[in-house]
Amino acid sequence: MVRKMRTSEEYRQDLYRLKPNVYVRGKKVGRDDPEVSGGINIISKTFDLVDDPYFKDLLTAKSHISGKRINRFTHIHQSAEDLMKKQEMTRKICRLVGGCIQRCMGCDAMNGLSIATFAADMEHGTDYHKRFLEYLKEFQERDMVAACAQTDVKGDRSKRPHQQDDPDMYVRVVEKRSDGIVVRGAKNCITMAAVADEIIVVPTRAMMPEDKDYCVAFAIPADADGVKIVARTSKVRAPKGLDMPQGEFGDDENMIIFDDVFVPWDRVFICGENRYATLAAYLFALFHRHSYTGCKPATTDIIMGFGALIAEYNGVYERHNIREKLVELAATAELVYAAGIASAVHGTKTPAGTFMPNEVYANIGRRHAGLNYYKELEILAELAGGLPAALPFAEDFLSSEVGPLIKKYIKRKSDVPPEDVYRCLYGISNILCSSLGGVQAVAGVHGGGSPVMEEIAIWRTYDFEKKKDIAKYLAGISKDMPKD
- Between 5 and 381, name the residue whose CB sits nearer to its own copies: 381
Task: Indicate whether 34 belongs to the interface with its own copies (CB under 8 A).
Answer: no
* 40 lines the binding site for its own copies (CB under 8 A): no
Residue 125 or 386: the one with the smaller Cβ distance to its own copies is 386
Q: Should residue 413 be labelled a site residue for its own copies when binding is judged by CB under 8 A?
A: yes
For residue 150, which phi and psi values (nearest 5 degrees)? -110, -50
Least spacing, CB of residue 112 vs its own copies, in Å: 20
According to DSSP, residue 201 is labeled: E
Site for its own copies in 453-472 (CB under 8 A): 455, 458-459, 462, 464, 467-472
Of 179 and 465, which CB lies nearer to its own copies in the complex structure?
Answer: 465
179 makes contact with its own copies (CB under 8 A): no
Binders of its own copies among residues 101 to 160 (CB under 8 A) are: 151, 153-158
Residue 124 in contact with residue 273, Cβ under 8 Å?
yes
* Cα separation, 87 vs 290, whole angstroms: 8
Cα separation, 162 vs 169, in Å, equals 9
Instruction: Determine the Cα–Cα distance for residues 76 and 62; give it in Å rounded to an integer.
Output: 10
| Closest separation in Å from C-beta 143 to its own copies | 22
H/E stretch holding 367 reads helix 359-384
Instruction: Report the candidate in 303, 307, 306, 300 with the shortest Cα–Cα distance to residue 365.
Output: 300
Q: Which of 78, 163, 188, 350 binds its own copies (CB under 8 A)?
A: 188
Of 50, 192, 257, 268, the one binding its own copies by CB under 8 A: 257
Minimum Å gap between C-beta 221 and its own copies is 20
Closest CA to 214 of 157, 261, 277, 262: 277
Residues 41-60 that bind its own copies (CB under 8 A): 54-55
424 forms part of the interface with its own copies (CB under 8 A): yes
Measured between its terminal Cα atoms, the distance across the chain in Å is 51
The answer to whether residue 450 forms part of the interface with its own copies (CB under 8 A) is yes
Residue from 5, 133, 208, 433 in contact with its own copies (CB under 8 A): 433
Number of Cα atoms under 13 Å in the Cβ half of residue 149: 31
User: Which residue type does 154 have?
Assistant: K
Residue 409 touches its own copies, criterion: CB under 8 A: yes
Work out whether 235 is an interface residue with its own copies (CB under 8 A). no
Tell me the one-letter amino acid at 150: Q
CB atoms within 10 A of CB 118: 20
For the segment 210-229, give every residue that binds its own copies (CB under 8 A): 228
Residue nearer to its own copies on the CB measure, 1 or 481:
481
Q: Which of 293, 289, 329 is nearest to 308 (CA)?
A: 329
Tell the smallest beta-carbon distance from residue 86 to its own copies (Å).
15
Contact with its own copies (CB under 8 A) among 334, 348, 349, 351: 334
Q: Is 79 an interacting residue with respect to its own copies (CB under 8 A)?
A: no
Distinct helix (H) and strand (E) counts, the chain: 16, 14
Q: Work out the number of other CB atoms within 10 angstroms of the CB of residue 473.
A: 14
Shortest spacing between CB 276 and its own copies, in angstroms: 26
Pick the binder of its own copies from 61, 120, 192, 230 (CB under 8 A).
230
